[in-house]
Each structure stands twice: as C-alpha cells, then as structure tokens.
Structure 1
Amino acid sequence: MNAAEEATRIVDELRALGGAERAEYEKRYLKSDFTHFGVPMPAIRKVAVAAVRGPRTREDVLALAESLWSVTENGRPLHEARMASIEILAREVDLLEPGEVAVAERMIRDSASWAYVDGLAEKVVGALVRRFPEPAEVLDRWVADPYPWIRRTALLALLPGIRAGNPDLDRLSRYGDALIEETGFFIRKALGWVLRELSKKDPSWVRAWVEPRVARISGVTLREAVRHLPADDAARLKAAYEKARQAR
C-alpha cells in the first residue's frame, strides 16, 4: 500500500461527503482553526474502516494513520483526515505494539481539542494499556506532564479497563489525588467521567474515595462522580461538598 496515495484517495472521498453548513457549525462548536469539510462522524468512520478492510500489516496501518494526520488543506490541518487517522488506529489497535504509545503521544501533543485527544486516549492508548504493561507505566509520567491534554489522557486511558471490569484502582486513586485540585475544566471533567464510569460497577469504591476528599474536589468532578451513585450516597456527598465549600 502506498500510504500517501491512499490518504489522498480518502481525503477526496471525505471531501465529496462534506457540507459547508455543517463545516461552519463544527468550526464554531470546536473553536477550531483547522479546515473542515463538514462530514458527520459516522461517515468518517465508514470511510476509515473501509480503508483498512482486508489484510493490512502494522506498518501499513501506521503509515496510513501518519499520512492522514499530516494532511493539510488550505494551509491548515484537515479535521476529517485527523479523525480518520484516529479511527484507523483504533480499528487496527490489535496490530499495534507497546511502543506505538509514542505515536499516540505525538498526535496528542499536536492536538489542542478533546475532539482528537479523547479518541486517542481511550481507543488507542487505553487499548494498549489493557494489553501491555509498558504503556501503563508511561501514564505514570503523563499524569505530571505540563501539557494538560496529556494529563487528561492519563485519566481517560483507564476507561477501557474500567468498562471491561478490570479497573486499575491503584492508578485511578493516585492519579485522582494528583489531579483533584486542578483548575482546568477538561481535567476536572475527565476525573469525574472516570469516577462516573467506575460507579456503574463499583459504587462503594467511588463513594469511599470521594467522601474524604469533598473539601478538595471540584463541583465539576463531583457532579459527574455521583451521577450513578445511590440517591442517598449522592445526596450526602453533595451536602458535604456544599458545607466544605461554604467553609472555604
């Protein structure tokens, strides 16, 4: 497979599926200065999946993902090409090796939006973390990284394990303590999101973790964390949070 030629073909296919009205809406919603064709996500996914249907090597997948990620249109990165790149990596993640966490890291550092970071965090990094021990050790560095999207990734990469019923509670607790007093919305939201997902399977753990930290936790994190807890537990934690907030 010639990755550059295949990337060009995919971009032409995506261009034909776009719409100006949706493109403008997406740019406003994502506060994006990228080029947008205005292609709905299901259509992007369909094109991406079709591109790797059939036998593909690890090298094919990486080359195509990298080629799509680097596509520019009118001098700016192309939103749909980047989303297709993520979908291809996610679709073929079982071909990837532990070292490919560096590919995801490079893409995350080249991102400034949850639209790209979250898919890479959960579908690529999180999937690698479930399969191999080495990427999980990388997360231990990322949680203290200066770049907030890398810190967000350290949290969201725990989601696949949680959803599979094999949560890394030690890392979740440590990362939560490291990030609980962050002021950035996207870090606060990510911590709440991970706690919320865990609460669906282990509400007792989430309650026990949140309760002694109500004086430190943000309202954004708390609201997500208690969303699926039993009503009495959620009410008690909210009341304790309000009492602590008023005492600050």
Structure 2
Amino acid sequence: MTEELIAAFYAQRNPAKAGFMAAYMKDKFPFLGISKPERAALQRDFLRGARQAAAVDWGLVARLWALPEREFQYLACDYLAAVKGRVAADDIGRLAGLVTAKSWWDTVDALAAVIVGDLCARRPELVGSYVVGWSTGENLWLARTAILFQLKYKEKTDTEVLGLVIRNTCGTKEFFLNKAIGWALREYSKTDREWVRAFVAGHKLHPLSVREGSKYLT
C-alpha cells in the first residue's frame, strides 16, 4: 500500500504548482505540486487503514522522510497524527530526529503541537527529561518545539513550563523563536488573558513576541 501511495503521489505531480509551493517555502525543498485537499484525498484510505494498526511503523516514517519532495514529509506527519496514541515514550528520540532533519516551520510545527504535544500530555515526565532541555540547546527547531508543544493544551497548560522555556529562549534575535514565543502566548491568552498580560509586562521580550502575544489582550 505504501509504494502504491507513493506512486500515486508522483502520478499527481503538477510542475506549475510545484514552483509556487517551493517558492513559498523559500526553495528549501522540491515539491510535487499537490495541494492539501488533493493530498488528503490521495491518502485518505491509507490513513484509515493506519489507524487500525497495532504499532507505529517507524520504517515507513523514515522512508517518507528520505524522499526528496516535501509532500512526503507532510504525509509522514499526517500518518503520525493518525497513530499518535501509539507513539511511546521511548520514541521521543525519533521525534527529535524528525524535528532536526529537513527542518522548516511547516513540519516542525506539526510535530510539535500535534505529536510531541500529545505524547507529553500522556507522558509528562518527558517534559522535564527532554523537552525543557531542548529550549536551552543549540538547535533552534528543538527550541521552537519546546515553546510550541503545549499549543493545544488550553487550561491544561503548565504555565511554569511555558514560562521557563520562554525565558530560556527569549534573549535571541532568531525570528522563528521570537515568533513562536508570541504564538504560544497569544494562544494561551485565549485561556488565561491575565497570566499572559502579567508575563509580557514582567519580562523583556522581543518586540515581535510582544506584538504577537498581545494580540488578544486589548
């Protein structure tokens, strides 16, 4: 089924769209030119079957990540989202490997908010033993993941962890980190506006983070 799906993706190639899609991603990766709705239609049956599997097929994920066209990394992220409940604690290293391979915001954000976020909600001990450390490391994409993994937590957000990873990363001029800080604060402000207001007032954040994080505070 996997090889048939890969072949179906290649058969759907659209060079005209591919150029625009690659340009949007700063020409970091080649594209087939398959739009998101087209991709969803192609992979629907495959993902339906994947949800019935007993375990995550990490070989499949590695196969898709190794293919050059970006749509295959999107397929891998969608596959992991479909089977996220079966991602285990000892898979955290595999997820870190995906974050740091062929890294750009599109796949990193999907892995952070959906896959890492779900895993850490189920296995919170991973936050202290892995994720917080990512916020102090040299890899900006792991640091971005540490900022964004609670993005969907709402009232279950651990504000001590959120504040810690932001403090660990807010002294940077790196756009992708400052943007992530603002996004995380903005999203949490939908749940606790006063916490975000106090945090922004009490910390020296990059103007981009302040602007993004304060969007819903007025």
TM range (shorter): over 0.9
Once the two structures are superposed, residues 6-25 of structure 1 have per-residue CA deviations (whole angstroms, 9 ceiling, x without a partner) of 43222211123331121001
- Structure 1 residue ranges without an equivalent (≥5): 1-5, 72-76, 232-248
- CA 1:223 to 1:129, structure 2 compared with 1: closer, same or farther past 3 Å? same
Residue in structure 2 matching 1:115, options 100, 106, 113: 106
- Tell me the residue number matched to 2:136: 144
1:80-159 alignment, distance < 5 Å: 80-137=71-128, 138-159=130-151
Q: CA deviation at 1:115?
A: 1.3
- Helix, strand or coil at the partner of 1:58: coil
Is 1:221 the counterpart of 2:209? The answer is yes
- Tell me the residue number matched to 1:212: 202
* In 2, Cα distance between equivalents of 1:191 and 1:96: 26
* In 2, Cα distance between equivalents of 1:49 and 1:128: 24
Once the two structures are superposed, residues 131-162 of structure 1 have per-residue CA deviations (whole angstroms, 9 ceiling, x without a partner) of 11232121111011101111001111111223
- CA 1:64 to 1:166, structure 2 compared with 1: closer, same or farther past 3 Å? same
Q: CA deviation at 1:32?
A: 2.6
Compute the RMSD of aligned alpha carbons: 1.5
* AA partner of residue 140 (structure 1): V
- Tell me the residue number matched to 2:25: 30
- Helix, strand or coil at the partner of 1:53: helix
* AA partner of residue 100 (structure 1): D
- Which is greater in Rg? 1
- CA 1:198 to 1:65, structure 2 compared with 1: closer, same or farther past 3 Å? same
**TM-score, length basis structure 2:** 0.92
Is 1:70 the counterpart of 2:58? The answer is no
The number of residue pairs the alignment matches comes to 215
**TM-score, length basis structure 1:** 0.82
Query: Could you tell me whether the CA contact under 8 Å between 1:7 and 1:67 is conserved in 2?
Result: no
Displaced runs of 4 or more, over 4 A: none
- Tell me the residue number matched to 2:38: 43
- Structure 2 residue ranges without an equivalent (≥5): none
- CA 1:125 to 1:48, structure 2 compared with 1: closer, same or farther past 3 Å? farther
More displaced stretch, 26-35 vs 109-118: 26-35
Q: CA deviation at 1:33?
A: 4.0
* AA partner of residue 30 (structure 2): T
More displaced stretch, 8-17 vs 124-133: 8-17
- Tell me the residue number matched to 1:246: none
Once the two structures are superposed, residues 96-122 of structure 1 have per-residue CA deviations (whole angstroms, 9 ceiling, x without a partner) of 111122111111111231111111111
- CA 1:28 to 1:57, structure 2 compared with 1: closer, same or farther past 3 Å? same
- Tell me the residue number matched to 2:170: 180
Q: CA deviation at 1:92?
A: 0.8
- Helix, strand or coil at the partner of 1:160: coil
